[in-house]
């Protein structure tokens, strides 16, 4: 992070870049009438000096917090929105929602719109902002906090997550303690970090219990209902089917329920199922779903608070915060009865 005591002025930056003061202002304000190479040079100098804009100048920020999703698909998104909305309300701010239409990296028009809106900060959910995009936001003093980063966060990126590895371990150990040995796992997308961590926790639980990891029982979906349904159908078609499934997400667990129902299997008598997230739907399905609670609202709130702190020139002790997951036992898991 740039030093807070930096005393560099816009004039200094203009002199160093060999451009006029208005040009530096234009870059800082995200205007498009600046040549790309000039913009890049000025941004690089601003970044190096860690220029901090004074809050009383006329280019001050709006009172908006920008919340960016790769998709507004499920109740998962609503939990995040509620967490950010709560912190925004406490700070007299409003939340702007944007969606990158399913792409993990938002497009150029998104960035231009954000720069024009001058939000206090950006909370990017399940997203993978490019280095150039991060640099442009940083050059305008707009801090970015990523909730559940998709890729490997760089050391300087601020991010919030849950203890996914520990959660995967806990879910799988719960099934092992119930006596299950044929335990399947349906992970999320293989390129998504939080999913990899859950899968690794699953593997660690099996291995430390002396159980073999059967590649046939390891599947991948996209965290949504249909994927859980499809992968469970494949698992049920195996000669030696699993007696328990760690579904990787609550929505995939809902898909597992559908597949089990269609096959005439009773949950938990014939098949134990455990989810991940603890969305409201986990309480509503029949039978209520045992799951690993991920504190989504708290994660989003922590991300929003981090962005506001950074925008105020504050430092964070840690760049990466992981909130704890916890096991919520309901009625979809039962002891292995031996077949």
Residue numbers of the site for its own copies (CB under 8 A)? 62-64, 72, 74-75, 77-78, 81-82, 85, 89, 92, 94-99, 101, 109, 113, 117, 225, 254, 257-258, 261, 280-281, 284-286
**What length is written for the chain?**
339
> Least distance to its own copies from the beta carbon of 131, Å?
24
CA nearest to 91, candidates 304, 303, 324? 304
Residue (46 or 81) nearer to its own copies, CB: 81
CA nearest to 292, candidates 177, 161, 169, 205? 169
> Least distance to its own copies from the beta carbon of 61, Å?
13
Residue that the structure tokens 């922590």 belong to: 302
> Least distance to its own copies from the beta carbon of 114, Å?
9
CA 15 to chain centre: 41
Residue (285 or 310) nearer to its own copies, CB: 285
> Least distance to its own copies from the beta carbon of 282, Å?
10
Burial class (CB in 10 A: 0-12, 13-18, 19+), 275: buried
Contact 101, 130 (CB under 8 A): no
Distance separating alpha carbons of residues 210 and 205, to the nearest angstrom: 9
Residue (44 or 99) nearer to its own copies, CB: 99
Distance separating alpha carbons of residues 229 and 218, to the nearest angstrom: 14
Residue (53 or 117) nearer to its own copies, CB: 117
Give the N- to C-terminal CA distance of the chain in Å, as an integer: 59
Residue (96 or 327) nearer to its own copies, CB: 96
> Least distance to its own copies from the beta carbon of 76, Å?
9
């Amino acid at each position: 992070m740039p030093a807070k005591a930096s005393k560099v002025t816009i004039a200094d930056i203009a002199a160093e870049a060999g451009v006029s003061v208005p040009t530096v202002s234009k870059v800082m304000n995200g205007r498009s009438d600046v040549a790309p190479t000039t913009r890049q040079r000025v941004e690089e100098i601003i970044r190096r000096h860690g220029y901090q804009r004074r809050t009383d100048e006329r280019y001050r920020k709006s009172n908006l917090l920008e919340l960016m999703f790769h998709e507004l698909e499920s109740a998962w998104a609503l939990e995040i929105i509620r967490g950010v909305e709560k912190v925004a309300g406490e700070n007299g701010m409003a939340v702007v929602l944007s969606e990158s239409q399913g792409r993990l990296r938002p497009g150029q028009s998104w960035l231009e719109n954000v720069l024009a809106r001058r939000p206090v900060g950006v909370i990017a959910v399940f997203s993978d902002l490019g280095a150039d995009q991060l640099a442009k936001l940083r050059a305008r003093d707009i801090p970015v906090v990523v909730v559940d980063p998709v890729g490997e966060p760089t050391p300087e990126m601020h991010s919030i997550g849950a203890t996914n590895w520990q959660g995967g371990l806990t879910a799988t150990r719960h099934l092992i303690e119930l006596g299950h040995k044929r335990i399947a796992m349906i992970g999320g997308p293989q390129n998504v970090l939080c999913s990899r961590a859950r899968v690794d926790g699953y593997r660690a639980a099996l291995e430390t219990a002396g159980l073999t990891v059967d590649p046939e029982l390891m599947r991948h979906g996209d965290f949504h209902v249909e994927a859980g349904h499809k992968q469970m159908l494949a698992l049920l078609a195996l000669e030696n089917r699993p007696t328990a499934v760690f579904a990787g997400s609550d929505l995939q667990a809902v898909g597992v329920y559908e597949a089990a129902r269609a096959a005439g299997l009773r949950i938990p008598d014939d098949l134990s199922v455990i989810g991940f997230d603890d969305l409201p739907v986990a309480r509503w399905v029949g039978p209520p779903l045992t799951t690993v609670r991920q504190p989504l609202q708290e994660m989003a709130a922590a991300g929003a608070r981090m962005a506001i702190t950074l925008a105020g020139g504050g430092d964070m002790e840690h760049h990466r915060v992981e909130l704890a997951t916890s096991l919520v036992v309901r009625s979809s898991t039962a002891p292995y009865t031996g077949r």
